[in-house]
Structure formats: structure tokens, C-alpha cells
Structure 1
Amino acid sequence: MGSCAVAACAVFAAAPVFAADDDRPVTAEIGGRLHLDFASFDNDGRGTPNKDDTEVRRAWLDVSGKLFVVDYKMEADFSGDRVEAKDVYLSRSFGDAGRLTVGQFKQYFSLDDRTGSNYGSFLERGNAGTSLAPLYRLGASWQANPGDFTWAASLYSLESIDAWQVKGRAAGGRATWAPSPAAGDVLHLGVSAARELYDNPGASGAPGLRIRPRPAGHLSDESRLTLVDFSAGRDTDVDKWSLEYAQVRGPWSWQGEFSGATFDDGLQRGKVLAGYGMLSWFVTGESRGYDRRTGRFARIKDIRHTAGAFELALRYDQMRGDQHLVGLPDLRDGSTEAWTLAGNWYLRDNLRFMLNLIESRNRDRLADVTVDRTRAVTGRLQFDF
């Protein structure tokens, strides 16, 4: 990755110098988000019960703007025990040819993951979005938006500013097509893929490589089921992909994705498949916002009533994983699934209250038994600026 960063910096240095908009060479704008969550659980008698809890899920601040010939963004989350870096990058537009970005940024994988947490219809993304998406990584990318298409490709390290123990390198990209003509009338198709090469996961201080979704929300740690585990210290190759489909028709929208990953450390192999389908309805008549430049859902606009907008949404989400020694039967075969009913009250376009009702179930398919069944009520008060 060092050579990529050097090459990208050379491109920036070679670019002609020009003043920023309205002749200001340096600009800055402050933004942020605050998500306050709660969860209440109805656990079954199997395993350790999840505890009812509250949390500051996100407390982000960011500054962005122009720095002479480049744009910049610095973003951090202050919600945990330590400050965690999010987007920290420099970028430069080259007109219709596209945009170059260097630094730490969210990788380009799946509609669910690329849609920001401020704009999703549910408190949490689906299983693939929370456990397969590469999230924030150090690297360099090129993005473009020719006509009805978007595409982005990146080379990145498996390290991030806050997780330098994860060693390895990767490449990935995403392309979308959205030919619909107007707001409230959207057809979206997309595909994304990534190849990640992990160095010795689980050895020499490196964290293990595990897929363990939380089926009943972010606070449902006791309901996690390990679908694959590659933590024996052997180099592991991972191939990921996702297929995207979504439509918006006035107050109605629906979307689904089918995602997967394969794992190979030379001695063991694993496979994960995930899919979800969801339906959303704005009872008050608004439409989900969509950003055609980036191929993802965005802020709703033009709230029609002084009391705000109200959205109902329903999602079914399923994920299955298996793992085996090469040439031998499965060591592991499990699945997790969840139904989620959501109600979202948008008091303003940047202020909303969210409530989710979740029914989740985990199965050990080798033993053909249900190992966990959890119901949850989760909620969030959300504000962004």
C-alpha cells in the first residue's frame, strides 16, 4: 500500500494550483451525529441471556472542506472508551474523469453498507453489512459518476488507524446503475466485490478472523453465533461479493441484496452466504431520498406535515456459514435469521426517533437444533448536523 500512497501523492503534487471556490484557499465546515440507543430483550432459556441496556451508539464529529487544491475530511467517533477515527482523507476531483481519494475511508461494498447510518430504515444494517463489509480502511481509491452509472475501485490495507494489528492487503470495487428520471422514482442495480489477503489472523497479536453477526441488534452479544472462524495463525484469502437491487415508487420502496464470502487458509475452507429483503412505506407520503452521484440512499426531503414524517418498514435477514478441513466433512454449519419491524418518526429531516421489534433465531445445522431464540425491542433518538 505504501507505493499506492506515494503514487497518489505525486498526482496531487503535479496538479496545477488554483484557489478554492470564492477565492478562499482553505475552508472548513463542522458536522456530526448523535445516536442514543436502548434495547430490551425477551430471551429464551438457552445460553446466557442478553441484558437490557442503553448506549451512546454514535457520537461523531467531523470537519471537512478545501485545503488549496484538495478536499479533506476528518471524522471521529467519541462514543466509546477511546476516540475512534472514521473518514480521514484527502481527495481531488478531476472533473468528468473522476475523483481520487487517499487516506482512511469507508470501502465500496454493498448498498446496505454504503447507505449512511443516518439514513437507513433500521437501527442496524443486515448481517452482511455488519460482518462482511470492509468498513474503514487505509488506502487509495478512484470514483466516477458517468451518466446513470457510478463506479469506484480501491486498493487498501486491512489496517485502519485504530486497528493496526490487522495485517494484510486488499482490493475491491463497486458499480451501480440507476436510470430512473426523478426523485421518488428510482431503480437501482449494483454489484460489489473485494479480495482480502490476511496475514496470520489470530497469531502474533493479530485478532482472529471470525464472522459472528448480532441477530437481535448491537447489544445482543450473547446471541452471536460463530459461522466461520479462521484464527489459527495461517494466512487466509477471502473473496467477497454482493448483488444489489432497490426501487422507490413514491412513498413505497423495496430492496434486497444477496452477498457471500469464501475463506481459505490452505488447511481449512469456509463459506458464508447472506441475503435480505425489505419493504418501506412512508405513511405520510414522503419518498426515501437517493443520491445518484454515489448510488446510495440519502436524506428524505420535503417533509409534508408539521408533525413530521412517519415510515414503516419490514425486513427479513438470513445468513448461513459452513467450514471444513480440506477434503473432510463440515466442522461447522450454522445459520441465523431475523424478522425486524421498524417504525421511524422524522420530526425534522435531521431528527428522528426509531423503534425496532426483532424476532431472531440461530440454528446449529450439524446437530439440527435451535441454539438461540431472542426477541428484542430496540430504539434510537438520532440527531445529525
Structure 2
Amino acid sequence: MATCVLLAAAVPARAAEDDRPVTAAIGGRLHLDFATFDNDNRGTPNKDDTEIRRAWLDVSGRFFVVDYKMEADFSGDRVEAKDVFVSRGFGDAGRLTVGQFKQYFSLDDRTGSNYGSFLERGNAGTTLAPLYRLGASWQANPGDFTWAASIYSLESIDAWKVKGRAAGGRATWAPSPASGDVLHLGISLARELYDNPGGSGTPALQVRPRAAGHLSDESRLTLVDFSNGRDTDVNKWSLEYAQVRGPLSWQGEFSGATFDDGLQRGKVLAGYGMLSWFVTGESRAYDRKTGRFARVKDIQHKAGAFELALRYDQMRGDQHLDGLPDLRDGSTEAWTLGGNWYLRDNLRFMLNLIESRNRDRLADVTVDRTRALTGRLQFDF
């Protein structure tokens, strides 16, 4: 009800002149997904399914001396808050943001879901990135560099049972980027201190990637699991590289995390490499102010733009009690072939063909092999 009132109040404000002290604009996205699976005979098979992956609405604008954004996802059983913050710019010195916002970690995660070349981000982007958290940050864009640093709670508006505190940041460098000519380098760091995960009603701290897309829950492999109620320290990092050369682009990241609860330790390493080719001649767009990829514009043909993309994604994790051999050692990998048809710059149809495999390295056996065909109809405004 509060969201409806907010949207109704924003409608007349959208027409306000830019020099007025209060402005508002409405935006949103709708992602309709499907998945069909070719499962092996190990474990529980994934079921063919469809879902509303995202149904977001947002209101953003200016309120006197600050900018604001309020965003929510209506796709699930309950409304989930995304960006809910106020911010203010201080010229070349940077911008202060306070509230709930997506944290600054990795090129894959920072590139919006409307603009990625695949339906889902890689393993590190879906399991290690801090996502939306309550906190405060400072961001700046001096020349060819961007940097952002934040302090944040491990709670969010909708995940208030997750207790703890954290700090992190990201820096990027892209020397004189131009349309069709980009070199991007970046680094992300985060330190997160979890209070008794798995104890006193708090959620467990686990890394469990979905090997074959968002609907492949039965193919999840637990790489680390800290759920015995002991305070756990986590250190995360990610190194980024990407280039755009006309219709071709390629990028990769190497990411990792260490876990320590005083009794046991865990480690996760992940990496991916991808190649993208716009058959119709367009280029992936790059936003130099935020150090991430953005909306594809200047579609050259009436029939739209077509992109082919290929990614290899691998993640490995191990866990052991201090001074003892590993009690867990597993890995997951996937090849994804993607095709994207951009009918308009805000309307596209996506198809992904995925070949995934999970291994228990302690037993030296494959525990799951799944092929999937996934697709999405996507619209944003």
C-alpha cells in the first residue's frame, strides 16, 4: 500500500521542471524467464519451469538538496526492497550515499541485470558479491579512475536476521574510453564480520552456486558451510579485466574469499572468461563514471541487434577444521553459450545453452551433470 501511494504521488511530480526543488521519475524492469533441463541420473532432477525473475518498480529524483531512489521487486511472494537511499554530490570530490544500496564488488555484479550478456552472472557474482546492504558510501570519478568505499551492515531491509558489520570498496581504471574502444581494469575488496551464523535463528553462511541457472536448485553444490553459530570473519577480493574492440569484447575476473570462525577455515576461488560478438556491428557500451557496462545504443538495423556470447565459469571451495585434513572439497564449472536479440535498446530476447558439472574432489567423483536451455524476455523503462 505504501508503495502504491508513493507511485501515485510521484506521477504528477514527473512533469515538474528540472529546476524545481522536488522531482520524481518512475522506472522499472520486467524479466520473464523459462528453463528446460537435461538432467543426469545422479541426485534429484531439476524441473522445467518458468518464473517472473524480476518485476521491479522504482521512483527516483531530487528532494531539495539530496537525490533519492526507492526501488522494489514485486516478483516473489513478498515485496523485496532493492535500492532505498539518499545521496548528495560534492562536485569533483565525489558523492555521499546513505541507505540501502548495492555494494561495490566486481565488474560482473556491478553491471546491471538489464545489460549483462547472459541471463545470470557468474558464480562469484551470485555467491560472493555483498548485494544490497544498509550502509554509507563515498564514490568519486577522478579522470580515468573510479573508486568507491563503503561501510555497511550485513543486514538489509528484508534480511534483518543476518547480523554483522563490514567494509569494502572498488577501484577501476579505463584510460580514455571511447565507443567501441575500451580497456578496463579493476579491483574489489571486502571484509565482513558475521555474528553467530546458523545460531539463535540467524541464517547459515554458505556458498552454494547454482550450476545451471537460477532455476537449477537441485544442482546446487555446497562449497563451504559455516552454520555452527560461531562468529565468522570473511575476506573477499576480485580482480577485473575487460576490453572492447568494435563489435568484439572480452572480459574475465578472478575472485576469492576466505572464511575463519576460530575452529574451522574455508576458502573459495572462482574465475570466468567470456567473449562477446555483436554480429550486427554494435559495440558493448561502457559507463566511465561508474566503471561498468551499460545499455547498448545506436542499434544499426531495423530488425534489431544480435549478440553471441560464450563464457567458461569455474568455482572451487574447501573447508577444514584447524590442523586437520579437508572435510569438504568441491568444484563446479559451466560453459554457457548465449544469444541476445535486441529488438530495441530496452527490449530483448535472450537464450542460454548451459553445460554444467559438479565434482566432489575428496571422493574424486562427478556428483551432478546438467544441461539446460534457459531464456528470457526482458523489458525496462
**Is TM > 0.5 for Structure 1 vs Structure 2?**
yes
- Could you tell me how far 1:180 is from its partner in structure 2? 3.4
Map of 1:188 onto structure 2: 184
1:221 equivalenced with 2:221 (yes/no): no
Question: What letter corresponds to residue 159 of structure 1 in structure 2?
Answer: E
Between the two proteins, what is the percent identity of the paired residues? Answer: 91
Map of 1:55 onto structure 2: 51
Map of 2:162 onto structure 1: 166
Q: Match of 1:166, SS?
A: coil
- Could you tell me how far 1:367 is from its partner in structure 2? 0.2
Map of 1:64 onto structure 2: 60
Q: Match of 1:147, SS?
A: coil
Map of 2:4 onto structure 1: none
Q: Match of 2:126, SS?
A: helix
Structure-1 separation of matches of 2:19 and 2:103: 32
Q: 1:288 to 1:44 in 2, by over 3 A?
A: same
Map of 2:8 onto structure 1: none
- Could you tell me how far 1:30 is from its partner in structure 2? 0.2
- Could you tell me how far 1:23 is from its partner in structure 2? 3.0
Unaligned runs of 5+ in 1: 1-19
Residue 286 of structure 1: which of 282, 288, 304 is its match? 282
Checking the alignment, whether the CA contact within 8 Å between 2:45 and 2:218 is kept in structure 1 is yes
- Kindly provide the CA deviation profile for residues 256-285 of structure 1, in whole angstroms up to 9, marking residues without a partner as x: 000000000000000000000000000000
- Could you tell me how far 1:21 is from its partner in structure 2? 7.6
Unaligned runs of 5+ in 2: 1-15
Checking the alignment, whether the CA contact within 8 Å between 2:177 and 2:183 is kept in structure 1 is no
1:31 equivalenced with 2:27 (yes/no): yes
- Could you tell me how far 1:182 is from its partner in structure 2? 1.2
- Kindly provide the CA deviation profile for residues 180-236 of structure 1, in whole angstroms up to 9, marking residues without a partner as x: 341110000000000000000001110000000001000000000000000000000
Map of 2:11 onto structure 1: none
1:328 equivalenced with 2:324 (yes/no): yes
Residue 120 of structure 1: which of 108, 111, 116 is its match? 116
Structure-1 separation of matches of 2:114 and 2:178: 22
- Kindly provide the CA deviation profile for residues 148-174 of structure 1, in whole angstroms up to 9, marking residues without a partner as x: 000000000000000000000000000
> Which shifted more, 174-183 or 285-294?
174-183
Map of 2:355 onto structure 1: 359
Question: What letter corresponds to residue 28 of structure 2 in structure 1?
Answer: G
Map of 1:257 onto structure 2: 253
Question: What letter corresponds to residue 327 of structure 1 in structure 2?
Answer: G
Structure-1 separation of matches of 2:310 and 2:168: 30
Structure-2 separation of matches of 1:91 and 1:184: 31
After TM superposition, list the pairs within 5 Å mapping 1:338-353 onto structure 2: 338-353=334-349
Could you state the TM-score of these two structures normalised by the residue count of structure 2? 0.95
- Could you tell me how far 1:58 is from its partner in structure 2? 0.1
Structure-2 separation of matches of 1:21 and 1:322: 57
Structure-1 separation of matches of 2:21 and 2:62: 7
CA RMSD in angstroms, aligned pairs only: 0.8
Residue 101 of structure 1: which of 93, 97, 122 is its match? 97
Residue 273 of structure 1: which of 263, 269, 282 is its match? 269
Question: What letter corresponds to residue 164 of structure 1 in structure 2?
Answer: W
Q: In the comparison of the two structures, how many residue pairs are matched?
A: 366
- Could you tell me how far 1:286 is from its partner in structure 2? 0.1
Map of 2:12 onto structure 1: none
Map of 2:197 onto structure 1: 201
Question: What letter corresponds to residue 55 of structure 1 in structure 2?
Answer: E
